[in-house]
Structure formats: structure tokens, C-alpha cells
Amino acid sequence: MSVTQKAHSAQRNQEIPEATRLRLFKLQVEIRYCEKRAYDLFLQNLVKGTSHLALGQEAVAAGFAAAMNPDDYTFCTYRGHHHTLARGAPMLSVLGELMGRQCGLMKGKGGSMHLTSVAHGVMGSYAIVGAHLPIAAGAAWSAQYRGTKQVACAFFGDGATNIGAFHEALNLAAVWKLPVVFCCENNMYMEYTPISAVTAVKHPAADRAASYGLERQVIDGNDADVVYSAARDAFAKARSGGGPSLIECLTYRHSGHSRADPAKYRPKEELEEWLKRDPVTLYRNRLLASGVAEGTLAKIESEAMTKLDQATEAAKASPTPSLESAMSDVWADGGNAWRN
């Protein structure tokens, strides 16, 4: 794998404060455990509908979330559990939503593909590919207009770079110099088709950056330190009025596109190569090598598991939503009346 790392390299690890590094580890562990649990719950028929796991892509979510201010805005896709958790939405509310329970983030009205937690800056997960990029630009414009120094960040896949909304959003963000960061999680596949088979350039996001006067950035998306450093710089630039950034993170999903997909279309060796570069293992080993005690990491892991087990049980015990809620919140008055 050849990665242009720009100024971001693993050596940067030493510049990142230990508290941040431990947080990056904790976030990745929590996401990994929670995504695996979501899969188990699906096998038990407790998670209905579809879900798109981010197993293997934890470093992107952790790196970006750790670089954000609490009032920054996250806009993600249907593959958004990791970003929602990384911003601090409780596991109970996320799993509860996947299970269609009253305790869910949206009380079962959105489902896995639409996780939203405004209290944590998660301004929605969008299931129409690319749709949220212009929306993130609009939120960034609003922040700029209100002078709040907030930054909006849109996460999207490699496949989204071929849809018009990607290009319209980048152009508008560049023209209006908006405080927005566009993060492409290039996991090499759209649903079942390799992105290289349907894209005119090698790097679906970064190779388009120049068209919008933006810097070309391709980074190792499986290295949380690299992601964190790149995100931190992009957020600082946006906050200081420097305009948008586009960062392409190279990563890989360990499982299929959605829960129904066994991902047979991927070469075995390719998967094995990427499993060797598992972001969570990679980061754990790096922390150990840099002198963090095994006990410290084990404690983070066991605490994450305890938290997850408690959340799982609480979600299972949560009632299903009241049937009246299907008729509420069409309008701001809470109702659904279209006539008098």
C-alpha cells in the first residue's frame, strides 16, 4: 500500500498528548466492540432492517472525533454508527435505535441508517449517497454567518465522489470559503464494485481536490494518529477562516457492505493484507511500544466491554416505541395534520 502521508506520519504519535492517545484507543475499542455487538444482535434477530458496519474503519471516526470541538457538526452516512459513537452518543441509544426501541436515539423513527444526536453534534446520518455534503456546507455557512467558529464535517465513502452533490458541495464550499471538512473514507468499494472500476482517477477524492483549488491529501486511514493530526490541522484551518479541506483516508471494511453481504467479491489476499493492518491492533501495539502499560489498555478494554454489556441489556429491556409516535413530529408543532 502506498500512502502519501504529507506531513502526517506515525512519528507524530509522540507529539500527541498521552491523554489524547488513550482517548483515540478507547474510542476505537468502544466502536469495535459495539459494531461487533450490533452484528451479534442482528444474528439474534434483535436488530431489524439493514445496517452497515464500520468494522475496520474505527481509526477514521476516532481520529476525527478527537480533533473536534464539542459544538462542531458531524454529518455522516448510513455507515455512521462509528461516527455517532465517537462523538459521544451513548451505546444504549445507538443499539436501542438499531433494535427499534423506545430508548433509541430517535425512538425507532430513523433506524440504523439515520442515527442523529444533535446533543452530540451528530446532525444526522444520510442514506442518499452524497446528499449530506451540501448540507454540511450549509451548516458551515450558518456557523460562518453566526460567527460561532464551529466547523462542519462530512464523512462519506469513495463511491460518493462520483455523485453530483460531492462536486457541487466542494465548489460552493471553496467559493464561499466555508469552515467545512470533507472526509472521504476510501474503503475501495462502493457496494460490491471496486471503486477503481468506475472512477476516472486513482484517488477518487484527492485527485479531484485540485478542481476546487484544494490541497491533495491522501492519508493512512487505519492509523489513528495520522488521522487525528490531519483532522486537527483541517479543523484549525477551517476555524481560522482558511476555508474547506478534503481528506481522503485509505481504509477497508472488514465485513460486507451491509449485513446481507458476505463480500465474496473481494480477493482473499486483499482482505488478509488489510486485516494485518487492523487499526485497533495497530494502535494497541503502538501504545505498548511507546511505553503505555498493558494494564492501562486492558482496563480500557474491560471497561468498554462492561459498558457495552450494560447497554445491551438495557436496550433489550427497553420497551418498543408507543405506536402513536409513528404519527408525531411531522411538523414543528409535534403533529402530522395536513388539513383542518
Ligand X SMILES: Cc1ncc(C[n+]2csc(CCOP(=O)(O)OP(=O)(O)O)c2C)c(N)n1
- Binding footprint of other proteins on the chain (CB under 8 A): 73, 75, 105-107, 109-110, 114, 116-118, 123-124, 126, 128, 131-143, 145-146, 152, 164-165, 168-169, 171-172, 175-176, 325, 328-334, 336-340
Distance, in Å, from the CA atom of 182 to the CA atom of 197, rounded to the nearest integer, reads 23
On the CB side of 86, CA atoms within 13 Å amount to 32
* Pairing of the two strands 73-77 and 218-220: unpaired
Selected from 93, 150, 187, 251, the binder of ligand X by CB under 6 A is: 187
Nearer to ligand X, 120 or 257 (CB): 257
| Closest CB 163 distance from ligand X, rounded Å | 6
Taking the CA atoms of residue 116, residue 122, residue 126 and residue 132 in that order, the dihedral angle to the nearest 10 degrees is 150
Question: Containing H/E element for 280?
Answer: helix 279-289
157 contributes a contact to ligand X by CB under 6 A: yes
**Which stretch, 137-145, 153-161, 311-319, 326-334, contacts ligand X (CB under 6 A)?**
153-161
For residues 178-197, which are near Mg ion according to CB under 5 A?
187, 189
C-alpha–C-alpha distance, residues 109 and 42, integer Å: 18
57 binds Mg ion (CB under 5 A): no
Which of ligand X, other proteins, Mg ion, none has residue 266 at its interface (CB below 5 to 8 Å by kind)? none
- Binds 224, which of other proteins, ligand X, Mg ion, none (CB < 5 to 8 A, cut-off by type)? none
- CA dist 63 → 166, 204, 221 (Å): 22, 21, 9
Among 80, 157, 244, 279, binds Mg ion (CB under 5 A): 157
Q: Coil, helix or strand for 290?
A: coil
| Separation CA 126–CA 100 (nearest Å) | 18
Q: Burial-class residue 201 by CB neighbours within 10 Å (0-12, 13-18, 19+).
A: exposed
| Whole-number Å distance between alpha carbons of 306 and 280 | 18
Smallest separation, CB 178 to other proteins (Å): 9
Closer residue to ligand X (CB): 60 or 297:
60
Neighbours of 299 (CB within 10 A): 11
In the block, residue with C-alpha cell 449517497: 129
Quick one: which of 47, 105, 133, 160 contacts ligand X (CB under 6 A)? Answer: 160
Residue closer to ligand X by CB (options 256, 321) is 256
Among positions 66-95, residues that touch ligand X (CB under 6 A) are 79
Sign of CA dihedral 214, 216, 220, 224: negative
Picked from ligand X, other proteins, Mg ion, none, the partner binding residue 106 (CB below 5 to 8 A depending on kind) is: other proteins
- Determine the residue with CB nearest ligand X: 157
Is residue 159 at the binding interface for ligand X, with CB under 6 A as the rule? yes
Contact between residue 168 and residue 134 where contact means Cβ atoms under 8 Å apart: yes
Give the residue with the Cβ less far from ligand X, 79 or 203. Answer: 79
What residues from 248 to 287 belong to the interface with ligand X (CB under 6 A)?
257
- Helix, strand or coil for residue 55? coil
Examine residue 56 and tell whether it contacts Mg ion (CB under 5 A): no
287 CA to centre of own chain = 23
Q: Is residue 119 part of the contact set for ligand X (CB under 6 A)?
A: no
**Residue ranges binding ligand X (CB under 6 A):** 79, 127-129, 156-160, 187, 189-191, 257
* Residues found near Mg ion in the complex (CB under 5 A): 157-159, 187, 189
